[in-house]
Amino acid sequence: MNILKQKQFYLGIVVALVVLSVFGLAMMGSIAGAKPKNLPVALVVQDEPAAIPGGGTLAVGEMIKTKLGEEKQLPISWKTVASEAEARAGLDRQEYYGALVLPANLSSGVLSAQSSAPKPPTVLILVNEGMSAQASGAVSQMLQQAMGGVRTALSQQLLGTIGKTAQQIPVQTATALLAPLQVQVEAVHPVGANQASGNAPGMLTQIGWIGSLVSCVFLFLATNQAVTRGGSRLSAVALQTVGGVVIAALLSGFIIWMASGWYSMELADATGTWLFLWFVMSLFFLLQSTLLQWIGLPAMAILVLLMFFSMPLLNMAPEFLPQATQDWLYSWTPLRYAAGGLRNAMYFGGVEAASASTGAVLWSLAIVCLLGVLASGFKRRPARGPVANSDSH
């Protein structure tokens, strides 16, 4: 029972609680209560009102637009655009998570359900899968449910009209009355096979950060050892920087080879993905080296916490995050910019698209960190103690 009298026993409990609180905040606190809000979705209304036999017109497109605008529980921010081509261009620019296209023959097609030759119109749902698997999946589900409700309402309305005339109707007409419009879902910028449901960019970013951190620590220790033995600090730091970039090229290539060769990850542009991952890992190495050179090994705590706080955010759409998380973490963490660039490289046009989207931020950070690392080469060498002097004899 003497163990209960030791301070370390209780200190260990306190430390464990503190560690759990910090990592719980990192892994859960930043995304706790995450739910979608104001997801941008394009709405294309091309429908032309159709004349109803016996008088009046039917404008299904405007009816749907009004109904969707009144659905306040839908966490969607509708962006009305003029054409399907304009909506697709916005999807390419990652302005929308999806689009709802109401065709020109929507009203006339719905009215044709009452005829002997029905031609049900097709409503098109575009899902920007590569932009965010989580957000695009939610948008797809919500739009399909909304169109299901519209289809049911139209069916009941048409059946009520037919019911007033006690006449027999053909089978094809009855079938069309039950489904007066069709819904087609199309994935835009699909993520490909074995891509962790579109989460591959965030996953590769995490692996790249860890690989860079491991190599950075060993190069940091090697640099300090070389300086301790009398080498030039500036030369050692410069060689460490060059060596880190070279190692980043090898490690990033291995990651891409491992992902495609071992796990059959489908990569539309494997070379472009490797080049951008190389750049990202080089940036990580420079950032990590800067902190290690100026703070020392205690910087590892900062780097590990940065990784754990950033990890839950890498595959989440910002519209799902609490506002505090967006403002205080998502807006600046370099891992988020790296994952976003990789997403562009993998799904939206390769290295050029990645550079256009996040290149300015990442290059600026890389230059600052490079200057920070090189500046550490001018730090004054600490005085050598008795142990060092005894080694020199």
Note the pLDDT tens digit of each residue in 319-352: 988 888 888 888 899 999 999 999 998 998 777 7
Residues 285/217, Cβ–Cβ less than 8 Å: no
Query: What confidence category does residue 77 fall into, taking pLDDT thresholds of 50, 70 and 90?
Result: very high
Query: What confidence category does residue 189 fall into, taking pLDDT thresholds of 50, 70 and 90?
Result: very high
Give 272-326 pLDDT, tens digit per residue.
Answer: 999 999 999 999 999 999 999 999 999 999 999 999 889 888 888 899 888 888 8
Q: What is the pTM of this model?
A: 0.84
Burial track 324-350 (b if 16+ CB lie within 10 A, e otherwise)? ebeeebbeebbbbbbbbbbbbbbbbbb
- Flag whether pLDDT at 2 surpasses 80: no
Quick one: pLDDT at residue 202?
93
Residues 173/116, Cβ–Cβ less than 8 Å: yes
- CATH topology (fold) of 39-188: abc type-2 transporter like fold (3.40.1710)
Token readout for 240 is 């460490």
In the chain, what are the domain boundaries? 39-188, 197-378
> How far, rounded to the nearest angstrom, does the alpha carbon of residue 391 sit from its chain's CA centroid?
54
Q: Which residue has the higher pLDDT, 88 or 54?
A: 88
